[in-house]
C-alpha cells in the first residue's frame, strides 16, 4: 500500500486557484454576516414599505412660513388693535432672523428698526398701529 503508484495531479492554472480561494473566503464572510443578521430574511424590506407622506412632501421654507404668519396676524380682529392712551409709542426691535421674509423686513425698515435692540419713538397713528401686529414677534412697544 505504501508503495502504490502516485497518481499524477491534475494541472490547474494559478488564476483558477486564486479565484477558488477568494470565493471561499467571500462565502465564509457572507455566512458569518447572515448569522449576525446583517443580511438575509431578517432585514428584507416589505413590499408596502414606502416613505411616509410627511417624508415625501417638501417642508416649507422659513421665509414662506414667516409670510403666512404675518398675513394671519394682519387678519386678526381689528378689536385687537387697542388704541394706546398716549399718542407717543416706543418700539424696540427685540428679535431677528437671517431668513426673514422681505415684507416683514421692509416693515421693520419703515419703522427704522434695522438692528436688534434698537428703539424708536413713533406717533401712534393708524398706519403704525396696523403695521405693529404684522411684526409682533420681532418687536415690542409701549
Taking only the tens place, the pLDDT of each residue in 70-122 is 888 888 766 555 677 889 999 999 988 888 888 989 999 999 999 999 999 99
The ranges assigned to domains in the chain are 12-41, 80-141
For the CA atoms of 133, 135, 139, 142, the dihedral, rounded to the nearest 10 degrees, stands at: -20
Q: State the Cα–Cα distance between residues 61 and 53, nearest whole angstrom.
A: 18
Coil, helix or strand for 89?
Answer: strand
Residue 111: how many CB atoms within 10 A of its CB?
A: 20
**pTM of the predicted structure, to 2 decimals:** 0.49
- pLDDT digit string (tens) for 5-45? 777 777 888 898 899 999 999 999 988 888 887 665 555 55
Superfamily holding 80-141: Ribosomal protein L30/L7 (3.30.1390.20)
Q: Could you tell me the CA-to-CA distances from 95 to 92, 130, 138 in Å, in that order?
A: 9, 19, 5
Amino acid at each position: 500500500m505504501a508503495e502504490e503508484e502516485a497518481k499524477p495531479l491534475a494541472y490547474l492554472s494559478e488564476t483558477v486557484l486564486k479565484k477558488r480561494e477568494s470565493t471561499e473566503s467571500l462565502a465564509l464572510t457572507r455566512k458569518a454576516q447572515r448569522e449576525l443578521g446583517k443580511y438575509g430574511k431578517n432585514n428584507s424590506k416589505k413590499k408596502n414599505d414606502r416613505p411616509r407622506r410627511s417624508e415625501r412632501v417638501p417642508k416649507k421654507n422659513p421665509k414662506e412660513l414667516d409670510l403666512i404668519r404675518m398675513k394671519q396676524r394682519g387678519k386678526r380682529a381689528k378689536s385687537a388693535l387697542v388704541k394706546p392712551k398716549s399718542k407717543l409709542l416706543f418700539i424696540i426691535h427685540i428679535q431677528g432672523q437671517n431668513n426673514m421674509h422681505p415684507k416683514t423686513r421692509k416693515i421693520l425698515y419703515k419703522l427704522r428698526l434695522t438692528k436688534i435692540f434698537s428703539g424708536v419713538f413713533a406717533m401712534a397713528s393708524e398706519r403704525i398701529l396696523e403695521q405693529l401686529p404684522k411684526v409682533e414677534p420681532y418687536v415690542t412697544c409701549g
